[in-house]
Structure 1
Amino acid sequence: MCSRTERDAEGLQCTLAEGPIVVGAGPSGLAVAACLANLGVPSTVLEKAHCVASLWQHRTYDRLKLHLPKQFCELPLMGFPAGFPKYPSKHQFVAYMEAYAARFGIRPIFGRAVEVAEFDAAGCCWRVVAQTGEVFLSRWLVVATGENAQPNTPELPGLERFGGRVIHTSSYKSGRDFRGENVLVVGCGNSGMEVSFDLCRHYARPHMVVRNSVHVLPREVLGVSTFGIAMALLKWLPLKAVDRILLAAAHIILGDTDRVGLRRPKTGPIELKNSTGKTPVLDVGALAHIRAGKIKVTQGVKEVTRTGARFLDGAEGDFDSIILATGYKSNVPSWLKGGDLFTKEGLPNKPFPNGWRGEDGLYSVGFTMRGLQGTSSDAINIAADISEQWRSGAVIAQGGGSTHRRPHCQRPLRPPLQGAPAAAV
């Protein structure tokens, strides 16, 4: 929702947002916009794609399902439909996102990739410039592009001379496109394991590169979600004790994963997740294929050759394709200028649950390394904080004499005057 449109000193279309600007219309952006709407605060949601949840719609493989039960993946104020399965598919999750946006009247402005956003101290507002040339102004800026904004591509020596196909998992759809091929899958996280499993189902021959140690846990224990068990136990037991219980259960159900080349880290799975964001793999069938020899586990790549790869243990192999299952990263450093909230890697400076608020009306949502539960927590906090300022500002504007905390910016928000410097909004 925008209040009015004018022109700045450079002749650019300048839109004064009535409420905060939210950058990103994925689950994080929708969650904070919904929480704001629920408190009566409008927002302007900018999205570079032409749909909500674009990562889920365009950068995920066909067989993807939520790794966690649906009750752990709901956004604030609206649960999944009762008829959805325990682990919704990506298409069901997208349908949920679209229904969520509709319910709370969220209408993102699509096709508005942000080129730069910076706080203008003279005008006391955030100035967000889209690649279309439009300028959006607001007292508040919510960064909701998340931890997975762009593919993370590793530097593999010799990759440029490989004669076959090279793709990131963001472009992978189905193993049917690789039928009969020898495929090198670089990465052994949830994506690497599931892509390797999917390749097997379509009669490809995957070789999965395991560069580091990894925790593999069963998705369920006796029909109950492993994650759900962990969350319940953490209410009563210390984290390290819960990790020991999870590893004992994993050993009973999955056996010794070290024997098939999947070395476990010394730090427990929950402790490792909380400290580094490295998510344990929840096995959905890939481990059985590894034991059966259908998925070959290899060491790290020393160099890529024209026809394949050489590995750190001296082995060599020929491959038709290489799939980079190497995850994603934040794109915040490429467009957000200034502010105290983010590191140079584009992650909050403060750990969860304190990384959602910065100075000068800057906020972040979707950077907790705790999935959609962390997103929900941040969205609720952000909406409450902005709503307090919003109500306080409204009372002041009416001359009502309020004891509420004043909004951080008291001067009237306006675009640069004709002939004034562009930064002086």
Structure 2
Amino acid sequence: MQGEQEQQKAGGGGGGDQTPSHCIVLDGPIIVGAGPSGLAVAATLRQHSVPFTILERSGGVADLWTNRTYDRLRLHLPKMFCELPHVGFPPDFPTYPTKHDFLGYLHSYAARFAIAPLLRRTVTRAWYDEPVSLWRVTTTTTTTTTSAAAAEYASPWLVVASGENAEVVVPKVKGRERFAGEALHSSEYRSGERFRGMRVLVVGCGNSGMEMCLDLCEHGAMPFMSVRSGVHVLPREMFGASTFGIAMKLLRWLPIKIVDRFLLLVARMVLGDTEKYGLKRPKLGPLEIKNVTGKSPVLDVGAWSLIKSGNIKIVPEVESFSGSGARFVDGSEMAFDAVIFATGYRSNVPSWLKEDGELFTEDGKARRARCPSSSGSDDWSSWRGPRGLYRVGFSGRGLLGAGADALGAAADIAGRWQEAQQATGANISSV
């Protein structure tokens, strides 16, 4: 396999040398990231018989799901919306697969398409080399026997599949260093078992924050959830069907504002008035705010009933920390044994990708696709930029969007790769 061959070639960097000794020119595209998005691109390229090389900074596929998620996590959407291209979930999987179900599916997927990423390759820089019309990508490699060996790869095509959730986000709050209890990010949380009997402040009220509060309750802890801004809480199912599925069907026929009104009406019927319990709803509807800001509504998996019963207590935004607890923006203070920051993740693309802003904003989010001009010069899709640059998994539509992006990007690369092969063959035959 190409990945194994390139891994052998890259071994010549040596020791702690930060400068690549040579550049490895690849026949197929470079894919940065071996999460679901990168795997989906690779599998589709395999279907087109196009070689590829995946560079992955961790020690295996799906690092986020493997090492930075809590034990009780399940897919929040039904499995039909989370399948990767070409292979569905096993029929015996539950409607909402567990973390371990999903990881098993991803490993089986990688094995089925013979996807072998180059592991522990941290991309430090990627840029387009205009004179040779190639993307050049530098990496450092850390193993148990060597440290920071450098390598450089080049290809006409670069697929950015490193994800929207590459780096943790922890807000800077005054006095955090003085807090004497344990403070951790949600990526480090596994189970509420070790917090039994403790007062735990969870900062953040998204899907992760809500579910960790539920898990803490079930393990005998006393969770307090700090809410800074408004949040939409929706039942995971309506009328016996997936809320997400219903919304997708309605959007085929109705404007987004009308669909939002319907969702909020049903949510109020099922859940009641969330503002009564401290969860103020934003002015924009759940789907509209997702489009504008990328913030997903919370799909309730059981936390709401515990909020109503008072087992999960809602508190205001944190103003500062003290040695024993936190002070809130309303002036109140409380003591806590631990703090969990359920404050999400961000893209790390700006730290290594050098591009002109066609596909990514300055903070690493997807830039909206340009509209085609009359000449067709700006005719690229949301996943395709100029000069052979692609992004997959940045649409804000989760696994469903990543799969669609992967199919489009891989098919486009396959067409260009085949043209290059034909041109090379024609050049050789004419000599």
Using structure 2 for the length normalisation, give the TM-score.
0.90
Structure 2 partner of 1:395 = 422
1:46-91 deviation digits (Å, cap 9, x = unpaired):
1111111010010000000000000000111111011100000000
Structure 1 partner of 2:367 = 349
Q: Is the 8 A contact 1:351 1:368 kept in 2?
A: no
1:40 counterpart = 2:49: yes
1:367-395 deviation digits (Å, cap 9, x = unpaired):
11110111011111111111111111111
Structure 2 partner of 1:103 = 112
1:92-138 deviation digits (Å, cap 9, x = unpaired):
00011011111111111111111111111222211111112011111
What SS class does the counterpart of residue 303 from structure 1 fall into? strand
What SS class does the counterpart of residue 230 from structure 1 fall into? helix
1:24 counterpart = 2:33: yes
Q: Counterparts of 1:3-14 in structure 2 under 5 Å? A: 5=9, 12-14=21-23
1:299 counterpart = 2:316: yes
What SS class does the counterpart of residue 426 from structure 2 fall into? coil
Structure 2 partner of 1:78 = 87
**In 2, distance between residues paired with 1:89 and 1:44?**
29
Structure 2 partner of 1:212 = 229
Q: 385, 409, 412: which one pairs with 1:385?
A: 412
Q: 252, 256, 259: which one pairs with 1:242?
A: 259
Q: 272, 275, 288: which one pairs with 1:255?
A: 272
**In 1, distance between residues paired with 2:368 and 2:263?**
28
1:266 counterpart = 2:287: no
Structure 2 partner of 1:229 = 246
Q: Is the 8 A contact 2:20 2:152 kept in 1?
A: no
1:370-425 deviation digits (Å, cap 9, x = unpaired):
10111011111111111111111111111189xxxxxxxxxxxxxxxxxxxxxxxx
Q: Is the 8 A contact 1:339 1:358 kept in 2?
A: no
The amino acid of 1:315's aligned partner reads S
Q: CA RMSD in A?
A: 1.8
What SS class does the counterpart of residue 323 from structure 1 fall into? strand
Q: 386, 397, 401: which one pairs with 1:370?
A: 397
The amino acid of 1:300's aligned partner reads E
**In 2, distance between residues paired with 1:104 and 1:14?**
27
1:310 counterpart = 2:319: no
Gapped regions of structure 2 (runs ≥ 5): 14-18, 142-149, 371-379
Q: 199, 204, 207: which one pairs with 1:187?
A: 204
Structure 1 partner of 2:100 = 91
**In 2, distance between residues paired with 1:390 and 1:278?**
37
1:139-194 deviation digits (Å, cap 9, x = unpaired):
11111011000111111111111111110000000000111111110000000000
The 3 A distance-change label for structure 1 pair 55 and 11 is closer
The amino acid of 1:81's aligned partner reads P
What SS class does the counterpart of residue 153 from structure 2 fall into? strand
What SS class does the counterpart of residue 42 from structure 1 fall into? coil
Q: Is the 8 A contact 2:83 2:399 kept in 1?
A: yes
Q: Report how far residue 223 of structure 1 moved.
A: 2.1
- Residue identity (%): 54
Structure 1 partner of 2:64 = 55
The 3 A distance-change label for structure 1 pair 278 and 11 is closer
Q: Is the 8 A contact 1:37 1:104 kept in 2?
A: yes
**In 1, distance between residues paired with 2:109 and 2:103?**
10
The amino acid of 2:89's aligned partner reads F
Q: Is the 8 A contact 2:20 2:151 kept in 1?
A: no
Runs of 4 or more off by more than 3 Å in structure 1? 2-8, 351-354
Q: Report how far residue 11 of structure 1 moved.
A: 5.9
Q: Report how far residue 317 of structure 1 moved.
A: 0.2
